[in-house]
Amino acid sequence: MKRTLSAKRTLSAKRTLSAICLLSALAVLQPPPASGQAVFRSTQAANLPTAAMLQSGNWLFEISHRFDTPVSNGASDFWGLDGPVWNRMGLTFTPHERLMLSVLRSNRLDNVELNAKFVGVSVASESLPMEIAAQGGIAWNTDVFVTAGATDNEMQAYVQVIANALVLDRLALGVVPTFLRNPRILDVDAETAFAVGLNGQYYFNDTWSFLGEWVVSEERPGLEYDSGTFGFEIRTRGHFFKLLVTNQASTSPTQVLAGSPNDFTDPAVWRLGFNITRLLPF
């Protein structure tokens, strides 16, 4: 039984890797996108990707924190900042202006992820600039806690389409439909789930903006609620700082897309978090 499940996971991983490699090759071989106004200025919202890309040859370093103690605990836990903390670190390389490759690791279940993002279409409209991209990734959770009746089913994969539009030069909107393989890794049999990410960001000026994000997911045991996040983004030379409030303690896409155990409509479960990205233009 274990051998059969392992063989199925290996085959699924190979198929997903093949699909990502094929899409990456197609992205590189396509002509460069039309040079239009960027919709989102950062390559990520809070958890969802945007269609923004980096220049060829650039590197991007990411560190993301989610504090697992609610803000509602108050001063005794320094409003959640005393921890514990779920942390993700990642490094992205842009071999081509249409392609970004990333490797990331989170300490939540020792989640290790490889992903690729490729830009598709850019519409340089003065009234409604639009960008469409795609992203796919594979993740391994090497510290899975196996419960009674479950098996070690640590591999996950996802494929996303990213559609962004800019309204009135200040309001960026995004929708990210996603197919997620194996959303609940403690289940014996892996399934394929569908989730929809929605995000928006209002730019007050070149430095400050307000962002919000919502991931619509199916209800499943231990992950009954959608993931919601809001906060502020601060842009400096080469950096993006995001200060966040969320009901989601995870930072990895395969974990966020599966849902949250906490109800966002209850402020008592809100946690603080932040993302920092640093451009490394070698």
pLDDT of 121-175, one tens digit each? Answer: 787 777 789 999 999 999 998 876 544 444 556 789 999 999 999 998 899 999 9
The burial of 224, by beta-carbon neighbours within 10 Å (0-12 exposed, 13-18 middle, 19 or more buried), is given as middle
Tens-place pLDDT, residues 64-79 = 999 999 999 999 889 9
Domains contained in the chain, CATH given:
2-280 (2.40.160.40)
Q: What is the DSSP letter of 55?
A: P
Please list the ranges in the chain whose pLDDT falls under 70.
1-37, 144-153, 188, 282
Q: How many CA atoms lie within 13 A of 130 on its CB side?
A: 9
User: What does the pLDDT read at residue 24?
Assistant: 46
pLDDT at 185: 79
d(CA 143, CA 52): 32
d(CA 61, CA 93): 9
Dihedral of alpha carbons 205, 207, 209, 213, sign: positive
Q: What pLDDT shows up at residue 222?
A: 87
Coil/strand/helix, residue 79: helix
Output the pLDDT for position 28: 41
Per DSSP, the three-state class of 7 is helix
Query: What is the pLDDT at residue 2?
Result: 39
Token pair belonging to 54:
């980096």
First-to-last C-alpha distance (Å) of the chain: 49
Exposure string for 11-26, b = 16+ CB within 10 A, e = fewer? ebbeebeeebeebbee
Q: List, as one string, the DSSP characters of 86-117.
A: EEEEEEEEEEETTEEEEEEEETTTTEEEEEEE
Spatial distance between the Cα atoms of 103 and 279, rounded to a whole number of angstroms: 15
Strands (E) in 204-259, as ranges, are: 208-216, 227-236, 239-246
pLDDT, position 204 = 96
Residues present in the chain in total: 282
Q: Strand 239-246 to strand 227-236: parallel, antiparallel, or no bridges (unpaired)?
A: antiparallel
Q: In this predicted structure, what is the pLDDT of residue 141?
A: 87
The confidence score (pLDDT) of residue 29 equals: 42
Which of 52, 55, 62, 45 lies closest to 278, judged by CA?
62
Question: pLDDT at position 144, please?
Answer: 65
